[in-house]
Chains A and B, each alone.
Chain A
């Protein structure tokens, strides 16, 4: 009887050791060429980018997720349009989703300012949510209400080509539940509509 008890006890001890050691041993043997992969798989070191989504691995970025978000920063397209009836200026941007999942831009809020001295020219608000599919580009139209002092500033500060260098300040984005606040981003020269300079 005691022999049976000892056998049971020994079997249970061996079972515990086997259960604990076997899986980790298998994993170590599988990754013996690169043991770092046991804790850091390649997906974490090099997250998916637009290139990998497109199947173009040759240009795959190793800069990481936040660099990809940087690529997704709004880019100015075309020329701003001025509507004298509503006193508003319309600026079109395009935004690319570098991720493998759709993203929703919920809120965009910011100010357009002169790059030269930081004078605020208009506030930009886009409150309509916009969903962008993976690796796709969407257009965002920002409508800015110009104040009389801003119009006066534009008349006196445009260069010979009727251009002014502008920044977007305090840009607030809500992307996939993440609030991103960019203090200052230079957009570059935009042509001021001729109607504004009259």
Chain B
């Protein structure tokens, strides 16, 4: 029975991770809108767009991090796919060990990066940008030449973020499920 020798959780995880690549490129994980699209941030681990007054801003360090994110997702997805189809090979545990943690680490690092960046901006520029939700931000008087400037800021996690979180959870389940497959292989061999 070929289907019994497949780690289905890993297969589903791998498919979601590989699907997440184009999805995360075109749809952000997190979005920030200031004013009526005056300043907009669309971000995911594989693509980040800053738009200021309809002008696209490219920050090279973020571009490099996105390329790293892209490669990590490709490597993780492909490795997990190979493992899922051949979980009984002697080196399969190495493939699984390489692949299953990366989606979780990506989500956690992304989340930590987002929260830390927001907190730093809030503390250094004295703004109140929410990680999630809507708030009214008053520009510090020093920045606005004594003029009172008030702006509505909206930010929210988008559905690809929750899909990435689901992929990370499925990958962990795939790791938990691995000993069962190994055991069934041993039992088959012994019988």
Contacts and interface: CB of A to CB of B under 8 A. Distances in A.
Interface of A: 1, 4-5, 8-9, 12, 15-16, 19-20, 23-24, 26-27, 30-31, 37-41, 43-44, 47-48, 65-66, 70, 99-101, 104, 176-183
Given A47-B52, A182-B147, A183-B148, A8 B94 contact: yes
A99 to B, nearest CB: 5
In the A-B complex, the 6 residue pairs with the closest CB atoms: A177-B35, A177-B36, A101-B54, A23-B67, A181-B148, A23-B64
Interface stretch (B15-23, B68-76, B121-129, B174-182): B68-76
Contacts, number: 112
Interface residues on B, range: 35 or more
A31 B63 CA distance: 13
Contacts of A177: 34-38, 151-152
16 contacts: A5-B94, A12-B98, A20-B68, A23-B64, A23-B67, A24-B61, A24-B65, A24-B68, A41-B60, A43-B57, A47-B52, A48-B53, A100-B53, A100-B54, A177-B36, A179-B151
A179 B136 CA distance: 10
Query: Is chain B's interface secondary structure helix, strand, loop, or mixed overall?
Result: mixed
B75 A19 contact: yes
B144 interface: yes
B59 A19 contact: no
A38 B58 CA distance: 9
Contacts of A70: 145
Contact of B57 (A12, A16, A44): A44
Given A30-B60, A66-B143, A178 B150 contact: yes
A70 B65 CA distance: 36
Interface string B133-157: 0000000000111111111100000
B90 interface: yes
Contacts of B57: 41, 43-44
B151 A178 contact: yes
B64 A24 contact: yes
Nearest to B150: A179
